[in-house]
Amino acid sequence: MTKLDLRTEIKEFLSSRRARITPEQAGLPVYGGNRRVKGLRREEVALLAGVSVDYYVRMERGSLAGASDGVLDALASALQLDEAERDHLFHLARQSGAPGGPRRRRPAVTVRPALQQVLDAITDAPAWICNGRYDVLAVNPLVRALYSPVFADPRRPANTARFVYLEPEAARTFFVDYDRIVCDVAAKLRMEAGRNPHDEELIALVGELSTRSELFRQRWASRDVRLHRSGRKRLHHPVVGRLDLDVESMDLPADPGLLLNVYTAAADTPAADGLALLASWAAGRDRPATEVQALR
For domain 113-293, give its CATH number from 3.30.565.10, 3.40.190.10, 3.30.450.180, 1.10.3470.10.
3.30.450.180
Task: Write down the mean pLDDT value for the chain.
Answer: 89
Helix 214-221 / helix 178-195 crossing angle, nearest 10 deg = 60
**What class does CATH assign to 6-97?**
mainly alpha
Give residue 236's identity as a one-letter amino acid code: H
**DSSP 8-state secondary structure symbol assigned to residue 156:** S
Model pLDDT for residues 145-186, shown as the tens digit of each residue: 999 999 999 999 999 999 999 999 999 999 999 999 999 999
Measured in degrees and rounded to the nearest 5, phi and psi for residue 241 equal 85, -150
Model pLDDT for residues 189-209, shown as the tens digit of each residue: 999 999 988 899 999 999 999
* CATH 1.10.260, the chain: domain bounds: 6-97
* CATH 3.30.450.180, the chain: domain bounds: 113-293
Gyration radius of the chain's alpha carbons: 22
Mean pLDDT of 42-71: 95
